[in-house]
Structure 1
Amino acid sequence: MTECFTSAGFRIAVLDEPPAAASARERFPDELGGRSSFLCFLFFVLEAA
């Protein structure tokens, strides 16, 4: 995905992961543990180069 952005002439200004939802922490306590983020969605802020 990042290759597509950069080859199209964009610069990635911000890459962010949302925090895990409380319901996900309740359902998967061992998998999420003390992690502050949960790789499910990635948010990109792109700038035209």
Structure 2
Amino acid sequence: MACAFKAAQKQLNKGCNKLAGCQTKVDAKQQTQDAKLETNDAVKALGGLFR
């Protein structure tokens, strides 16, 4: 019984690790997109100063 439980727990942990890895990639991608938008806004603001 304990063996079956440990095996199930191991599989569950593998699944959770994969999900966590995917979520990390999604978060990183979102942060990159946010940073690009902020940079764009800063460039536009600077452009407005020199008109």
Scaled by the length of structure 2, the TM-score of the pair is 0.18
Larger radius of gyration, structure 1 or 2? Answer: 2
Q: Which protein has the bigger strand share?
A: 1
Q: Which protein has the bigger helix share?
A: 2
Structure with the greater relative contact order (CA < 8 A, sep ≥ 6): 1 or 2?
Answer: 1
